[in-house]
C-alpha cells in the first residue's frame, strides 16, 4: 500500500479544484504534483492562465495559487504498479472536506478518467458536488495533442476570470 506523500495545494481564495488520481512515481519523488517531464499539466495551465510555463515547485505553486486554483488527488492510498492508473487497487480516498470548508471552490475538475471514476465512486456520494471530466494531461494520453488539451481545459476559465 502506497500512501499519498504530500499535502493538497489550496488556500482560502481557491475557486476551482483540479483532482488527479494518484501521484506518479516522479511526482512522489519530487513531492509535488505532475512531476513527470512529459506530463502536459503545467503547459496546459500556463496556456490557460496566460503565464510562462513554471519550472520550479515554487513557481508552480505561485502560478496556481495566484490564479485561485487548488490541486489535489482523489486517492489517499492504494496499491499501484509504477505510475499506471490501470493498476490501481485497494483505494482509500482522500478527505476533500478541508478544502471545501476552507476554500471558495465553485467548480471541480477531474484530470482524466481514473480521477473522475474514483471521485464518482468514493466522494460524490458523500458530498454531492459535481465534477467535470477533462482529458488527462498524462503522457499516456497520446491521443490528445497539447493544443487539443488546452482547448478542452478552457472550460475552467469562466471560474478563473470572475
Q: Domains along the chain?
A: 2-157 (3.40.470.10)
Helix/strand/coil percentages in the chain, nearest 5: 40, 20, 40
Strands 107-111 and 16-20: parallel
Does residue 16 register a pLDDT over 70?
yes
Over residues 53-69, the pLDDT tens digits come to 999 999 999 999 999 99
Does residue 162 register a pLDDT over 80?
no
**Phi/psi-derived region of residue 31, left when phi > 0, alpha when psi is between -120 and 50, beta in every other case:** left
Confidence (pLDDT) at 45: 97
Write phi, then psi, for 85 (nearest 5 degrees): -55, -35
Specify the pTM.
0.95
Output the CA–CA distances (angstroms, integers) from residue 60 to 6, 54, 75, 102, 143, in the order listed: 15, 5, 21, 21, 26
Laid out side by side, the sheet with 75-79 consists of 2-3, 75-79, 89-93
Confidence (pLDDT) at 60: 97
Amino acid at each position: 500500500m502506497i500512501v499519498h506523500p504530500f499535502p493538497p495545494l489550496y488556500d482560502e481564495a481557491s475557486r476551482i479544484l483540479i483532482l488527479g488520481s494518484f501521484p506518479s512515481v516522479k511526482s512522489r519523488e519530487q513531492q509535488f504534483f505532475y512531476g513527470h517531464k512529459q506530463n502536459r499539466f503545467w503547459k496546459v495551465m500556463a496556456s490557460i492562465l496566460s503565464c510562462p510555463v513554471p519550472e520550479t515547485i515554487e513557481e508552480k505553486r505561485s502560478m496556481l495559487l495566484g490564479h485561485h486554483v487548488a490541486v489535489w488527488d482523489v486517492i489517499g492510498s492504494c496499491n499501484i504498479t509504477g505510475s499506471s492508473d490501470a493498476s490501481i487497487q485497494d483505494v482509500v480516498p482522500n478527505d476533500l472536506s478541508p478544502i471545501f470548508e476552507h476554500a471558495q471552490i465553485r467548480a471541480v475538475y477531474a484530470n482524466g478518467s481514473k480521477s473522475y471514476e474514483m471521485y464518482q465512486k468514493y466522494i460524490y456520494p458523500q458530498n454531492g458536488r459535481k465534477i467535470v471530466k477533462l482529458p488527462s494531461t498524462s503522457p499516456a494520453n497520446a491521443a490528445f495533442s497539447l493544443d487539443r488539451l488546452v482547448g478542452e481545459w478552457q472550460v475552467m476559465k469562466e471560474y478563473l476570470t470572475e
